[in-house]
Amino acid sequence: MVFKVQFYDGLARNGILNLKSKKISIETPVFMPVGTYGVVRSMTPEELYEMGFNIILGNAIHLFFRPGLKAITDHNGLHNFMRWKKAILTDSGGFQIFSLNKICKVNDNGVLFTNPKDGNKLFLTPEKSMDIQYSLSSDIVMSFDECIDCNLSWDIVKKSMERSVLWSKRSKDHFNKLGNKNLLFGIIQGGLFHELRYFSITNLIKMDFDGYAIGGLSVGESKESLYSILKYVTPQLPQDKPRYLMGVGTPLDIVQAVNYGIDMFDCVIPTRNARNGHLFVSNGVIKIRNSQYKYDMLPLDKKCNCYTCINYTRSYLHHLYRCKEILGIRLNTIHNLFYYSNLMEELRNAIKQKTIRNFVINFNKNYIKNENLI
C-alpha cells in the first residue's frame, strides 16, 4: 500500500507514505523544503536530516535549464548530484506557466519556455515533463498541468482546467510507458470555481493517480478563498491517497489545511523569509532588521532548540542582517526550517492524541494576535 492513514482527528490525518523506489516511509502531515536548483538555499543535506526532513522538492524546468540534464544524469540522478539520500518530489513545470508567464507561450499541445539567461528554448509537453523527471530520478513525479492566475474569468479558467485534465491523461500514459517505479501525483485545477474543481477531481480520480495535489492556489487569492476551496475539494478526494497542497504556505495556512485533511506541503516562505530577516517564533514573528533588537541579549525563541537559538542572540543576528553577512542568512534559515519541522511534528502529535481542535484554536489565536506586533 502506497499510503495508509494511522490516526484521524476530525478531518485531520496522520499517515505513512511509502515510496516504491526506496525503503523510505514518510510520516504525514509533512512539509517539504524547496530545493529548486537541487539545493535548499544555504543548507547541507546533513543539516536537513538533523532537523527531521526526509523529503524535499526540486523543479524540473529550472534544473533542465541549469545545470541541464547531462550534468545530473552523469551523476545517475538528482539524489547523487546533490548528495541527498532521502526522498525528492519534482514539480512538473506547470507552476512556471504562472511564475514565468512573460517568457512562455501556451497552446493545447504544451508550453514554449525561453530561458531569460541565455535564450535557450524548451517546448514542454506532458510527455517531455515525464521524460525530464524520469531523468532526474525523483521519487514522486508530478503530472503536467497549467497553473494560471486564480482571478481570471470563468471561461479562461475552464479552458485551462480542461487542458490540465488532458495533460494529466497524457502524463499518466507516458509515465506508464517509461516503466517508472516511482509515484505519480495528479494535480487538480479549476481556480476558485467549485464546479470546475469538481470536474477536475472526478476526471483525475478516474485516472487513478498515486496521490492528488491541489494546484492553482497561493497565487494571489484571499485566505477566505483558499480555505473555501480546501473545504470543498478535500472531502472529495480518496481516503487512501495522499493529498498535497502545492505552494502553501504560512504557518497559519498549514495548520488550517491540516485541519481540513491535507497531508503534504511545500513553500519557499521559510527560506525566503529567512533571507529577508523575517523569523518565525513560538509567539509570532520577529523582524530581526528592526532596531529594537540591536542590544537584545535574548535568543530568537526561548522555546526553540535549534542551533541558532542555542548559540546566538537577537543582537548578533540583527548585526549580521545589517552587515548582509552570509552567516546571518544561514542562521536565519536554520531557525525557520527548524520551526517548520517542529510545527509539523506538533501537528502529527496533536492528531495522534486527538487534540487537533484545541491545537488549531490556540495556534490561530496566538499567531494572529502576534503576527504583526513583534
62 burial level (CB within 10 Å; 0-12, 13-18, 19+): middle
Among 1, 19, 128, CA closest to 64: 128
Check if 266 is active-site. Answer: yes
C-alpha cell at 168: 494529466
Check if 240 is active-site. Answer: no
Cα distance between residue 214 and residue 42, in whole Å: 29
From the candidates 91, 139, 253, 301, give the one annotated as an active-site residue.
91
C-alpha cell at 194: 467549485
Cα distance between residue 146 and residue 157, in whole Å: 10
Strand 140-142, strand 183-188: pairing: parallel
Q: Specify whether the CB–CB gap between 98 and 88 falls below 8 A.
A: no
C-alpha cell at 116: 531569460
From the candidates 9, 139, 263, 266, give the one annotated as an active-site residue.
266
Name the residues annotated as catalytic: 91, 266
